[in-house]
Chains A and B, each alone.
Chain A
Amino acid sequence: MTALRYLLYAVLLVITVLAPFIFPDFRTQLATLWLMIIVALTWDMTGGQMGYNSLGNIFFYGTGMYVAAVIAIGLVYDVGVYTSASGGGINEFTPVQYFAGIGLGMLGAGLFCAACAIVIGYITFGLRGPYFAIGTLGVAIAAGELVSNWDWVGGGQGITLPVYPADLDEGKLFFYYVFAIIGVVLFIFLKWLYSTRFGAAINAIRDDEEKAEAMGIHTMRYKLTAWALAAFFVGLVGAISAFQLISFEPLETAYQTINLGIFMVVCVLLGGKGTLWGPVVGAILFHLFKEITWNYLLGWQWVALGALIVVTVVYFQDGLMGWLMHRKPGWFGIRIDEGSDGARK
């Protein structure tokens, strides 16, 4: 069984490495797929594993974009001057400056987002259930509105970053692999994290927070840590997205509350909350659905996506993994005492 499992992992890894060569025309698409997988996995850290359904995780994506862009520009130019020129004329970056900007930008974005998660979480984690969801949504919307009024970072126009300093096809490959590496690292990290006492503790918070409190579990500490870890990874992919997209603006790209912000939730629900593979499978399904509707529905794709959200939430909330778990509990090592009265409750 374990040998089979390792074989499966090896095959998946090979597919991951070769995918951009098998589908050379879809390199950006594949990178976006990894982005979806990463944000879905990080959303599930709090939403699925800890029971705190955030609608505002997109805040870290947008903030990561801006922090990375400001760091990358700030290494070479004065940010205010650069943005007021809309990047025109002075966006000369040497390859060294460019890659140093990406590296430091990602690191800075990740750390800054983790710090933001701790500060915001300290307030919002006092909120339960729907208040938490609405509060975090509020944070994301407010951030987008405030940034779009902040001229130093380009206001509503956003920021235009330099393009990849070599062949553009090579650039696509570069971004694909950065996303893929973050994704694989995140997956392995989560597989380990969920097997620790920390993983058990956040599950306990999800299942019955009051009981967890009554047993002296440091609920606030665990909640903040989980969200900060999620925010770190979202900040990383936000940073790399900024360079991949080259040009971005606050409301539709960075703090895209009603796009990626809600998509990540739907991915997780489609695949199955609180499982490791659920978000991955869900992200792949969702991305396929999105691309198909984008190509064939001519303008109505947004309505179709809204409908998909409603249908998933209303009819299929346990997702694919949840459905499997219900049908085949034995596969997941769940045993039920059929002899006692509790089983029939």
Chain B
Amino acid sequence: MSTVIEVRNVGKSYGGVVANKDISLDVKSGGITGLIGPNGSGKTTLFNSIVGYHPIDSGSIKFEDREISKMNVQEIARLGLLRTFQQTRIYGAMNCVENMLISLPHRKMSLMDSFNRNTRADYDRADQLLEFVGLYEKRFLRSGSLSFGQQKLLEFAMALMNEPSCLLLDEPTAGINPTLINGLIDRLKRANSEFGITLFIIEHNMRVIMNMADHIYCLAHGEMLAEGAPEQIQNDQRVIDAYLGAH
């Protein structure tokens, strides 16, 4: 498996607070990679560094062998590296189908293409993906009126609509009704296997990430604490200490 995202010795601090220190990791193509760590360990900071929300102090970040640490958000997104937000972001005033249609991969369109109306195929694909996440019945409702969990599913479907080559998910199960989590895990796995999208997931819920990921990195206090297969991480005493120590 080739490496999609290659993070090398990345450091980032806010004022005097070190959020990331000398982080290196690899996200393998076609797999599901997990990133865990207690609150405040610098997971979201690392995500934001990768997708271009703020500059990094040192180190390098490569996406498909291209240096992206100096690019801004849209340039990176146009390469096919997408992210979802921890606080869900959807277009609340539009209905679900409109949300999906906006998420068409604009990066593959020329300006003239954008002057076309959406085709039958676009609508079909939107319906199909809404069906996939289980929102088909609600597709004509204003998305702002959906529950938080449903909005999260919608955001996930929007990301799939965009046909990314790699998707960064920031806590996909946070705020979702526990009874629905198994269904979500299943869908994430299918997105990975059926659509061939490489996933890189921040997750708080240990059970969820152990079920999904084939490789896990664990951060604590801004530093890389451990990495390995799920079983290794599960039994790593340092990881257990870090989680317990944080409470």
In the complex they form, whether A and B have CB atoms below 8 Å apart is answered with: yes
For the complex, what is the distance from the CA of A122 to the CA of B39, rounded to whole Å?
40
Complex contact A201–B91 (CB within 8 A): no
Chain B residues close to A by CB (< 8 Å): 51, 72-74, 77-78, 80, 82-83, 85, 89-95, 98, 101-107, 109, 111, 113-118, 138, 140-142, 144-148, 150-151, 158, 162
Closest 10 CB pairs of A and B: A216-B77, A216-B107, A337-B145, A343-B145, A213-B74, A340-B147, A337-B141, A216-B78, A336-B145, A198-B114
Complex contact A336–B142 (CB within 8 A): yes
Complex contact B77–A200 (CB within 8 A): no
Given contacts A222-B114, A342-B148, contact A210 B102 (CB under 8 A): no
Chain A neighbourhood of B106, CB < 8 A: 197, 201, 215-218
CB distance from B242 to the nearest CB of A (A): 30
Chain B neighbourhood of A215, CB < 8 A: 77, 82, 102-103, 106, 158, 162
Is A225 among interface residues, defined by CB-CB distance under 8 A? yes
Q: Which of A135-190 contact B (CB under 8 A)?
A: none
Is A219 among interface residues, defined by CB-CB distance under 8 A? yes
CB distance from A127 to the nearest CB of B (A): 15
Complex contact A200–B89 (CB within 8 A): no
Given contacts A337-B141, A340-B147, A342-B151, contact A207 B116 (CB under 8 A): no
CB distance from A273 to the nearest CB of B (A): 12
CB distance from B46 to the nearest CB of A (A): 16
Chain A neighbourhood of B158, CB < 8 A: 215
Is A196 among interface residues, defined by CB-CB distance under 8 A? yes
For the complex, what is the distance from the CA of A336 to the CA of B83, rounded to whole Å?
27
For the complex, what is the distance from the CA of A340 to the CA of B147, rounded to whole Å?
6
Complex contact A210–B89 (CB within 8 A): yes
A selection of 8 A-B contacts at a CB cut-off of 8 Å is A200-B118, A207-B94, A214-B85, A216-B78, A337-B142, A340-B145, A342-B146, A342-B151
Query: Looking across the interface, which residue of chain B has its beta carbon closest to that of A212?
Result: B102
For the complex, what is the distance from the CA of A253 to the CA of B120, rounded to whole Å?
49
Is A341 among interface residues, defined by CB-CB distance under 8 A? yes
Given contacts A215-B162, A342-B144, contact A200 B107 (CB under 8 A): no
Chain B neighbourhood of A220, CB < 8 A: 74
Query: Looking across the interface, which residue of chain A has its beta carbon closest to that of B108?
Result: A216
Complex contact A214–B146 (CB within 8 A): no
Chain B neighbourhood of A198, CB < 8 A: 114-115
CB-defined interface of A46-59 with B at 8 Å, one 1/0 digit per residue?
Answer: 00000000000000
Is A335 among interface residues, defined by CB-CB distance under 8 A? yes
Is A195 among interface residues, defined by CB-CB distance under 8 A? yes
Residue from B80, B101, B138, B146 within 8 A of A200 (CB atoms): B101
CB distance from B168 to the nearest CB of A (A): 10
Residue from A193, A208, A214, A341 within 8 A of B82 (CB atoms): A214
Given contacts A204-B102, A207-B91, A222-B114, contact A216 B82 (CB under 8 A): yes
Query: Looking across the interface, which residue of chain B has its beta carbon closest to that of A225?
Result: B111
Complex contact B95–A335 (CB within 8 A): yes
For chains A and B in complex, what number of residue pairs have CB atoms within 8 angstroms?
Answer: 115
Query: Looking across the interface, which residue of chain A has its beta carbon closest to that of B141?
Result: A337
For the complex, what is the distance from the CA of A217 to the CA of B75, rounded to whole Å?
9
Complex contact A200–B98 (CB within 8 A): yes
CB distance from A201 to the nearest CB of B (A): 6
Complex contact A216–B105 (CB within 8 A): yes
For the complex, what is the distance from the CA of A201 to the CA of B113, rounded to whole Å?
12
For the complex, what is the distance from the CA of A195 to the CA of B115, rounded to whole Å?
9
Given contacts A195-B117, A340-B146, A342-B147, contact A214 B141 (CB under 8 A): no
Is A191 among interface residues, defined by CB-CB distance under 8 A? no
Chain A neighbourhood of B148, CB < 8 A: 341-342
For the complex, what is the distance from the CA of A239 to the CA of B147, rounded to whole Å?
52
CB distance from B131 to the nearest CB of A (A): 17
Residue from A197, A208, A341 within 8 A of B147 (CB atoms): A341
Residue from A195, A219, A337, A341 within 8 A of B74 (CB atoms): A219
Chain A neighbourhood of B141, CB < 8 A: 335-337
Is A128 among interface residues, defined by CB-CB distance under 8 A? no
Chain A neighbourhood of B145, CB < 8 A: 336-338, 340, 342-343
For the complex, what is the distance from the CA of A196 to the CA of B74, rounded to whole Å?
22
Complex contact A340–B107 (CB within 8 A): no
Most buried by B among A195, A198, A208, A219: A198
Most buried by B among A210, A216, A221: A216
Query: Looking across the interface, which residue of chain A has its beta carbon closest to that of B158?
Result: A215
CB distance from B47 to the nearest CB of A (A): 11
For the complex, what is the distance from the CA of A338 to the CA of B94, rounded to whole Å?
16
Chain B neighbourhood of A210, CB < 8 A: 73, 89
Residue from B77, B90, B93, B104 within 8 A of A197 (CB atoms): B104
Complex contact B91–A214 (CB within 8 A): no
